[in-house]
């Protein structure tokens, strides 16, 4: 019969055996029982009964049959084992004897298979897998390799899993390189099977020690019509490196990855990059590359970088005014009483603005814009602040110029945000934004203020250099947007070029036709078995085979010209697709591939071109992209392995769990 008022008795201090971790001691009347927490069987729990019968029950308990308690129960809890010491930090196990059970030490024989796992408790422990998991964690989150030597980390790991031998710094470095080599082979195999072509983005980095690096990133549209990017190399440039050597570095990387024959475009982050670099690369890969439209589609410059550069010109021109405003803001924010006086004057002036004056962070030029924008709105308040240092006072002309520069910077910020925040930055999104900047620069140059017109002329000269290289590529990408086609080019060119607009429109039309014809010839060769999908477009090299270099074009024009051209003409003649905010251009081309088989091949390569290479975290960084001291101190091969693998692993992680950022870049610090 069950006894009423059954209560759980507190364990006396003498119940120190590990067996009691598996039993609950209860008391009915004057009798103590030990109730198995796994199967609820009641055994004698009297202090005079010992624990042998409890041990025997655990060995036979069916609910514990998958648990290797024979080792756990064989542990002798000797006092000298009660303390875990790591690097002069002790963990007093005696403080929680009831909560901690030290597992049996299992010897790992050298001749055991690496993938053999230990059965510890109710889980399996694989030291090899744990070592690689640790390496992946370090890579994925950018942790320093030296963390494995940190005392706190060692204590945490030993208490979590005593069987895991914490590895040394050099060992975890080898594990990271091992993962890199495995992932690199996977990326290599994937690129070799890619049907489309590859666009290469080339970005320059530096370190606090002024070391120079080059980051090569492949952009492409995969076979599922998804825009992808992979960092292929992060190379350390020798101190004696010159710009002439950069082309050799790039070509070697292309050869190593075996993608030179698949190269479609190269995007440089700096408009001032020496054109000879591009020409040398073109010459060396010309045997497997076409020369279309004078190579304009091959040589691309980053749109966001040119906008950043002209924004810097504006800020530099206004430097004296900015220094005065910065001093005024510092004064207002120097004490609560002055800030209170400032707000009181603002109310008296009828300024009901909830914005507060802010200081800028000079190496983030968008913060300088915010400071200027707010200051311009409070200009009358600064003027009526009696205690303000006269050196900080601005004339009406200076306030007017500051207001104009604010409008310049606002436009640039809005457009850069469009580029950097887009999760799928296909090439078609850039043309209307860049054209809008072009039109505004033309207007700014007409300013009656000599200061502003001179500044606008300088900005436009820099922009024109970019436009001359990239306008055709931007236009072709826009034409391949079924919502706009040729109409968008006609609309903007009429505003930009005025009386010469028709000539420029014809250049864009001829450019896309020439481009399309090259793809049509390539398609003919594929149909005849002379080329493989994803291989290069027809060559313009001068080897012995070039005796027949015009034959392929002749064959195309005489046999399939009408069919091929009708593919492009059909696309241009059909009604434009309705504009909506949910439009996915890659999905549109995927669906319409059967209708436009050749044009869709071209669209995939063009739309995958990175017209801008800046990630959101670098969008307004005036100090350049700089590695942190942790990564810059690593050996070059290890640094490349960590940065590349981090990008690859984060991409896999993003596929499983969508991330707010499409870009996976090296860690950076901002320059002072």
More confident residue, 630 or 574: 574
pLDDT digits (tens, 9 = 90+) for 252-267: 999 999 998 888 999 9
More confident residue, 653 or 645: 645
Percentages (nearest 5) of helix, strand, coil residues in the chain:
55, 10, 35
Give the pLDDT of residue 655. Answer: 54
Q: Are 657 and 206 in contact (CB under 8 A)?
A: no
Give the pLDDT of residue 285. Answer: 72
Give the pLDDT of residue 540. Answer: 41
More confident residue, 393 or 308: 308
Please give the helix or strand (H or E) that residue 219 lies within, else none.
strand 212-221
- The predicted model scores a pTM of 0.74
Q: Above 70 in pLDDT, residue 524? A: no
Give the pLDDT of residue 383. Answer: 82
Q: Above 60 in pLDDT, residue 82? A: no
Q: Are 303 and 311 in contact (CB under 8 A)?
A: no
Q: What percent of the chain has pLDDT over 70?
A: 75
Average pLDDT over residues 89-114: 40
Q: Are 421 and 616 in contact (CB under 8 A)?
A: yes
Give the pLDDT of residue 64. Answer: 59
Average pLDDT over residues 410-415: 94
More confident residue, 138 or 660: 138
Domain ranges (residues) in the chain: 19-64, 175-300+624-654, 303-421, 427-526+583-611
* Structural tokens at position 404: 């104009």
pLDDT digits (tens, 9 = 90+) for 648-669: 998 776 654 433 333 344 444 4
Angstrom distance (rounded) from CA 308 to CA 184: 34
> 664: which residues sit within 8 A by CB, 6+ positions away?
231, 646, 647, 650, 651, 654
pLDDT digits (tens, 9 = 90+) for 9-57: 444 445 667 678 788 888 887 788 888 888 888 888 887 778 888 877 8
pLDDT digits (tens, 9 = 90+) for 283-325: 777 655 544 444 445 788 999 999 999 999 999 999 999 999 9
Ranges 229-233, 368-372, 562-566: which has the least confidence: 562-566
DSSP string, 460-498: HHHHHHHHHHHHHHHHHHHHTSTTTHHHHHHHHHHHHHG
Give the pLDDT of residue 215. Answer: 94
Interior CA angle at 225 toward 533 and 251, to 5°? 55
Give the pLDDT of residue 183. Answer: 95
Give the pLDDT of residue 474. Answer: 95
Burial of 467 (0-12, 13-18, 19+ CB in 10 A): buried
């Amino acid at each position: 019969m069950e006894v009423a008022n059954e209560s759980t008795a507190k364990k006396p201090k003498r119940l120190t055996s590990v067996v009691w971790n598996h039993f609950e001691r209860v008391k009915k009347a004057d009798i103590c029982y030990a109730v198995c927490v796994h199967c609820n069987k009641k055994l004698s729990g009297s202090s005079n009964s010992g624990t042998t019968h409890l041990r025997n029950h655990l060995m036979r308990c069916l609910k514990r049959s998958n648990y290797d308690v024979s080792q756990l129960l064989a542990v002798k809890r000797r006092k000298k084992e009660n303390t875990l010491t790591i690097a002069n930090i002790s963990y007093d196990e005696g403080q929680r004897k009831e909560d901690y059970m030290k597992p049996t030490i299992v010897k790992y024989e050298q001749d055991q298979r690496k993938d053999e796992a230990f059965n510890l408790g109710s889980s399996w422990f694989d030291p090899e897998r744990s070592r690689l998991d640790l390496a992946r964690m370090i890579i994925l989150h950018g942790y320093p390799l030296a963390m494995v030597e940190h005392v706190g980390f060692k204590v945490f790991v030993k208490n979590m899993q005593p069987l895991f031998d914490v590895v040394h710094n050099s060992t975890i470095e080898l594990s990271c390189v091992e993962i890199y080599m495995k992932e690199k082979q996977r990326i290599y195999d994937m690129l070799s099977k890619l049907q489309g072509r590859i666009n290469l983005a080339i970005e320059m980095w530096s370190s606090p020690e002024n070391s120079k690096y080059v980051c090569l990133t492949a952009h492409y549209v995969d076979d599922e019509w998804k825009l992808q990017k992979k960092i292929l190399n992060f190379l350390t440039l020798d101190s004696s490196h010159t710009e002439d050597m950069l082309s050799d570095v790039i070509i070697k990387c292309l050869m190593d990855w075996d993608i030179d024959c698949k190269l479609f475009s190269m995007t440089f982050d700096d408009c001032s990059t020496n054109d000879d670099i591009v020409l040398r690369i073109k010459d060396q890969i010309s045997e497997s590359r076409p020369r279309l439209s004078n190579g304009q589609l091959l040589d691309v410059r980053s749109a966001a970088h040119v906008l950043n550069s002209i924004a810097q010109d504006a800020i530099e021109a206004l430097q004296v005014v900015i220094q005065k405003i910065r001093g005024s803001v510092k004064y207002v924010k120097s004490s609560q009483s002055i800030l209170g006086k400032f707000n009181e004057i603002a109310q008296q002036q009828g300024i009901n603005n909830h914005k507060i004056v802010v200081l800028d962070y000079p190496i983030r030029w968008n913060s300088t814009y915010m400071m200027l924008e707010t200051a311009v709105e409070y200009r009358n308040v600064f003027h009526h602040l009696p205690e303000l240092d006269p050196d900080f006072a601005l004339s009406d002309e200076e306030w007017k110029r500051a207001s104009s520069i604010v409008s310049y910077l606002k436009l640039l910020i809005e457009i850069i945000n469009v580029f950097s925040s887009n999760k799928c930055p296909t090439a078609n999104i850039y043309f209307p934004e860049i054209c809008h900047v072009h039109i505004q620069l033309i207007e700014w140059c007409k300013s009656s203020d000599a200061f502003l017109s001179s500044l606008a002329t300088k900005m436009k000269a820099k922009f024109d250099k970019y436009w001359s290289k990239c306008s055709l590529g931007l236009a072709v990408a826009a034409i391949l947007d079924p919502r706009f086609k040729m109409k968008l080019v006609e609309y903007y060119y009429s505003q930009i070029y005025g009386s010469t607009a028709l000539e420029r429109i014809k250049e864009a039309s001829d450019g896309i036709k020439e481009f399309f014809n090259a793809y049509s010839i390539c398609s003919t060769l594929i149909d005849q078995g002379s080329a493989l999908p994803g291989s290069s477009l027809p060559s313009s090299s001068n080897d012995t085979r070039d005796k027949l270099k015009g034959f392929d074009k002749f064959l195309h024009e005489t046999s399939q010209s009408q069919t091929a051209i009708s593919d492009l003409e059909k696309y241009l003649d059909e009604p434009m697709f309705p504009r909506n905010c949910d439009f996915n251009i890659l999905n549109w081309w995927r669906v319409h591939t059967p209708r436009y088989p050749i044009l869709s091949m071209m669209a995939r390569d063009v739309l995958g071109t990175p017209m801008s290479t800046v990630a959101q975290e670098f969008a307004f960084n005036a100090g350049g992209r700089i590695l942190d001291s942790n990564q810059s101190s690593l050996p070059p091969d290890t640094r490349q392995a960590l940065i590349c693998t981090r990008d690859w692993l984060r991409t896999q992680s993003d596929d499983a769990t969508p991330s707010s950022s499409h870009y996976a870049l090296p860690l950076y610090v901002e320059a002072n």
